[in-house]
Amino acid sequence: MSKQKKNVFNDFSGIMFSTDPEFVYESAEAEEQETLPNEKQDLRVMLDRKNRGGKTVTLITGFIGKETDLELLAKTLKTKCGVGGAAKGGEIILQGDFKEKVFLFLQKEHYKVKKSGG
């Protein structure tokens, strides 16, 4: 059997004590925004080679919403392009040059999308 970590009163992820009487502790979970509808997303599709050892990646930026929705969109794009990639921080990274294919797919799904960069 594995031991589960007990939630104790003083387990505040490094926050010890505040002398400010109006201090309100905000957890990281409360910061996540609601996902905007496809028509209101303002996405940019670009190619990137910087800090990637000369390899080209397709970068989709500007996604506003929950991390789970971002990962779902990333999984769909990776499946459509047949490549690997990652999703975090409002960005989706796809391995390879799929700028045109991703742009057309996002347009078809009614996202507000623009090509950016070269």
Domains of the chain and any CATH numbers: 35-115 (3.30.780.10)
Angle at 109 between CA 72 and CA 87, to 5 degrees: 30
Cβ of 7: how many Cβ atoms within 10 Å? 6
**Token pair for residue 98?**
């799929």
**Token pair for residue 111?**
């996202």
Q: What pLDDT does residue 30 have?
A: 47
Q: What pLDDT does residue 32 have?
A: 60
Q: Could you tell me the pTM of the whole model?
A: 0.71
Output phi, psi for 17, to 5 deg.
Answer: -165, 145
Exposed/middle/buried for residue 99 (C-beta within 10 Å: 0-12, 13-18, 19+) = buried
High-pLDDT (> 90) share of the chain, %: 54
